[in-house]
Structures are given as C-alpha cells and as structure tokens.
Structure 1
Amino acid sequence: MIAGLACLGLVACHASAAGSEPPAARSVGSAGAGRLSGKVIVIDPGHNGGNAAHPEVINKPVWVGNGRKACNTAGTATADGYAEHAFTWDVSNRLAKMLRARGAEVTLTRGGDSGVGPCVTERAAIGNRAHADAALSIHGDGAAASKHGFHVILPLPVGRNRGIVAPSARLGEAIRDAYRSGTGMPYAGYLGKDGLDRRDDLGGLNMSTVPAVFIECGNMKNAGDAARMSSAAFRQLMAESLAEGFENYLR
C-alpha cells in the first residue's frame, strides 16, 4: 500500500505509526472551555508530501459538481525549495492548536505530511460529515515571481453548495480582514478584488455543504512573500491572524 493512501477514505487522516503524528494534528475535540466552545472547525492543509511521487493517484479525475478535475496536485514551492505542502501543514497545525485552546473542536483533513491525498472531494466531505461551522483550506500561490500578496477564494453557486455561498462570503471577509490586519500582507494585485476572488472550479468549495473558503497566504514564487512564508515566526503570526478571523466570524 502506498504510504498515506489509506487516508483517502477516512473522516480524518491519522498517522499509521503510534506517536508519529504531532499532537496538534489530532482531532481530539475541545481543549477546554473558551470563546469558541461548541464550535466545529475543519482545517484543510493543502496538498500532501507524497503527492508528487504518486501521479497515478493524484491525477485521477474526480467529479467536482460541474466537471472533473484531478484528485489533487503536488503544489508549488519557493525558489529555495520550501514546499507548499510543508508550509500548509505547519500553519494548519499552529492554527489548530490556537483554536483548540479557545475551545473549538478541530479536525484536519490529513494527519501527516508524507502521505498521498486525500482527493479534493474527500477534503470537502470531511467538513460535511463533521457538520463544521466553518472550514478553511490553506495554500500558498505559485504565480509569476513579480506578483505578490494574499487572497481569499470564495465559492460560486454550483449546485449542492448553493446554501453555503452567502455564509462562506461572510467567513471569507472575516478571514481576509483579520489576516490583512494581523500580518500586514497586502491584497494580491494580480487577481480578484480587495483580497477576494470567486471561483466555481475548486472541488473543495463546489462539494461543500458547510461554510468554506480557501486562502492563498502569499505567492511562494515572489521573493518577499517567500521570505515571510519561510519564517517560523511569521507563520505563527499568520496562524494567530487566521484564528482571529474564525473568532470574528463565529462569535
């Protein structure tokens, strides 16, 4: 069996070896009473560390509500080789720890950074099965090196997601505002408007029945953005800002 492939069908991916998964990545429920007590949040760390080595898995087409797309992709990387999958895994675990400290029940869509998948449709299904109050997919963009800034992606109505388009827009605005205020990162000037973009081609949004958005935290091909995204201290600031965005939306 391909390492990590079994997680394609699970509600939350878990490491196969005991103790191999960081505590912050486990879906263990509320960490105690807090401002987000009773809230359910799903965090989707984009891509996965084993994706690039298994194109036969991630290139398999899946139905995303209005057509077929690849199960997943390998993601991008900085010029120095810092991979998007590692970036999203780190930020997601930092964020999960903060949200649990505020009382939220948090599930990640994958349980490590060396597996394959899960497919974009399964990532959406994890949030749906959890009846999440909010879901966020974390990414880094791979645009031209001259482009910089962040943007939040909101769903357009495709079919099954029609009921979550409006609340997703509110979630996206809360995430955008908190991220901009907390990190000082500018809005992406190369697509969308005022840090928001709307798309109907992302399975994680098209197949969601709970409020869900994506964030491209910066452009990993841009030297300035890459320097920030490669800094552990700045990733902590990113996570703090995203936690504030969730709280602003959910309270």
Structure 2
Amino acid sequence: MARYEIPNLESGYYLASGSVNGFVCFKGDVSSNRDSCPISVYNPTTRQMVKLPDVTPNGRRIYVRLGYDPVEDQYKVLCVMSFSSKKAKYNQLEEHLVCTVSSSQKQEWRKIENTTGENYYYSCVYGGICIDGALYYGVGKPRIAKFNVRSEKIEFIKTPKESLISTTLDSSFINYNGKLGGVDYCSWEEHPMTLWVLEDAEKQEWSRMTYTIPSTWRRSFLKFKGVIHTGELMVFYPWLKLSQPFSVGYYDFNKKKYKKSRDPRIDE
C-alpha cells in the first residue's frame, strides 16, 4: 500500500464525496470560529486543486456531492444545506446550490429549486455515486434522491420496503454494470449481504440478490467502498476501533467468492 500526500490542502479538510472519474471533492470542517465552509475539487493525476467559493452555513448542516455530465464534459458540485423551519414538514428544509467546476473561468454557486415538492430530508449523508450523468444519494428515508447533473433537476426514487440502502450508514451505493446498485448489510442475519439493483428507473423496479459473506466478516462493522475495475466489491473490516488492524476484502458477485488483501504495516 503506497502513501499518497495531497498538496495544497489546508488542515481541517475531509473527503466529502466519492471518486468521480478519479476526481475527488473535499469539504472543510465548519468550526465555531469559522463562518464559511471551504470546498475544493482535486485531480490526483495532475495534482491540480480547484477551490470553489466558500459557502456560508449560518448554522446549517452542509452536504457536498461531486457529479459529472458526460454530454457537456462538465463536473459539478451539488451542495445541500439543511436548516430548521417551523413551517417545514419534519421541521427540515433544504437549500440546493450547484457550482460548475472550472479552472479557467470564474465560479459561482447557483441556487436551484426542487420541483418535486419533496423538499425535506432526514439527512443526505447516506451514500453518493454518479452514474451516467446522474448523481444518487440517500436521504435517510425509503427513497433516493437523483440529481441530473446536466439539467440540474432533482427527483426521487422509491426504494424497496425491505431495503435499508437509503436509511443506514452500513449500506452503500455502487455502480453495478452501469446500473445503480445498493448493498445492504445486517450482521444479525444468516445471509447478511443483499444487493439491490435498479433495473428500471422510470418504473422504479428493483431486483434483489442475496449473498453469504465470509465468516470473518460477520459481526464486524463493514465499510463498503464501491466496486473496482474488475467489478468486485471493496470491503474494509473490522471497524471496531481505529487503533485496531483492519483488512481489505474483495467480493465477486458473479462467482460469489472473496479474496483478502492486507496492509502488513497496519497489522504490526
């Protein structure tokens, strides 16, 4: 395992969105002595950092997701700010901002309206993946938000009643053969890993596949980190304490087999 240092990154930043074509998005920590939230997009290949205009939270929670439009060849950052309102259902309202990432022109945040009428979430910390110009993320309810990167429109997709892919941090969104997939994990079940695949987005039809995971993974705090180029699911385990060793496993959905890769420096 190689160590990779990221230059020009201020202290207090953390990864806010998964990799999109190799690009990653970082968000600064909003502390009590800071009245703005810095957001940056980084290209590990060229080591170029693009800093976006700061966002003023005003006491609101800020969630950031990176998306890509393959038609216009544009990267955009979606910023969702959640704040309380006595008039809002569930006492929550969301404000959506979008910024087009560019190193050659001035960047600015644009406010977009949620035309679906469902402008409240529990949260949007669950998952986040961009597939074929659409950015998907969970909202803590039995549905998934879909943000069209090109049109900048938001719609919602209902999840199966038996699924937890939009309501728990133990689940994860993945790109399953070009389709949106969600991995459920329940350590107390006999077959604790289930793969849900969105077969038809317009009809909101899902398929379901259940897998028996290795015994070494059970009763562990598994972290699913998407699929690699071979189509295998990357899994980190166990996650009991940060001071304890952890291993990296890869699960092949087609062969229903797994393999393990371990960093010897961590195990020392």
TM tier, smaller: under 0.3
Structure number with bigger Rg = 2
Q: What is the TM-score of this pair, normalised by structure 1?
A: 0.26
- Larger fraction in helix: 1
- Larger fraction in strand: 2
Q: What is the TM-score of this pair, normalised by structure 2?
A: 0.24
